Chains A and B, each alone.
Chain A
Amino acid sequence: MKQLFSSYTKGVLQLKNRVVMAPMTRSRALNNLPNELMATYYKQRSGAGLIITEGTSPSPEGLGYPRIPGIYSDAQVDGWKMVTKAVHEGGAKIFLQLMHTGRIAHIANLPEGYHPVGISDIKAAGEIFTDKEGMQEHAVPKVWILTESSI
């Protein structure tokens, strides 16, 4: 098992060991904001060489699940600063996973005024949990439209 404990050095990955904490949705980010509880959770796990965070949305439309964090507002950036500081103090490196859920979403999970967006308008089979309305069918997504501003 000694292979797991050898350090790893390649580019920005300067790691104390080969063990990575995999990204996992945990739905603790109330109002889509990273918080102190999350900083504690990640710090506890900083024995890993590399931590990859839970899926974090680059935009309000990508917040398909309840209580997942974002990285599009200054308040979210400030929240994440607590997490990265705590993890670095523990000696691990940390990558943020950018997850846009696309059609795996329900409008009740998105902030007011936003609608799920997909690569097409084909709806996913099955249901998704929402805090407001319990289990719901996946949304019929609006098709992502290519515009000058979206590039």
Chain B
Amino acid sequence: MISSFVTAAANAIRAGFDGVELHGANGYILEQSLNPHINNRTDIYGGNIENRCRLLLDIIREISKVIGAEKVGVRVSPYSTLGDIPAYNAEETDQTYAYLASELNHLGIAYIHISDSPAIPEKTHQQIRSNFTNTLIYCNGLTPETAAAKISDGSADLVAFGRSFLANPDFVKRIEKNAPFNDVDYMSLYTPGEQGYTNYAILP
């Protein structure tokens, strides 16, 4: 598992990427590891917070040896229940992400990418911000206005948009020109071919 991530990261650099983001969110294997209700392991990768964070941190440590920590980012989704991830004790959740932020800071990675939700208490945001000095990216439910406000107040360095970019290839230009946005065609999110993929309207 760990070595496959390392090879994959090296492959990514070989393919011309500027870096890699580890998906530690949305219920996939790295978040499965973080969660005490899914991770029932009795080895060094299960048990307390440190052990449940170990898989993600070991992968990053090993990847960093090969491509450099400055080319690694991590996405997290505290308090998310996507992918049948059961919620767990709030204090323990906060401690998990505070610990992760501090360890990731120590490892010197490029960024933490937070999949935001109203379920995340302000305290968690503040702990991540204060424990991690490098770049913070915020994502989920942002509008250009709320995103600009997050940059202004210092809570985010960068702001990410999903569906807005999906439906508006020229999303940045549309913000600049105050042009209307295309709607997302939900029927073609995952269908093969160009329909609903490369054929969204672009401003002249």
A interface, CB within 8 angstroms of B = 1-5, 8, 10-13, 15, 17-28, 30, 37, 40-41, 44-45, 47-50, 52, 55-59, 62, 64-67, 71-72, 76-78, 80-81, 83-85, 88, 93-104, 117-120, 122, 124-126, 129, 138, 143-144, 146, 149-151
Contact = CB atoms under 8 A, between A and B. Distances in A.
Nearest to A18: B158
Contact of A102 (B32, B148, B170, B173): B32
Interface residues of B, number: 81
A95 B18 contact: yes
A47 B29 contact: no
Contact of A41 (B5, B44, B170, B198): B198
Contacts of B190: 25-27, 65-67, 129
Contact of A98 (B23, B135, B176): B23
B23 A97 contact: yes
Given A45-B171, A84-B17, A151-B3, A15 B38 contact: no
A93 B12 CA distance: 13
B197 A37 contact: yes
Contacts of A55: 23, 28
Given A12-B70, A28-B192, A1 B29 contact: no
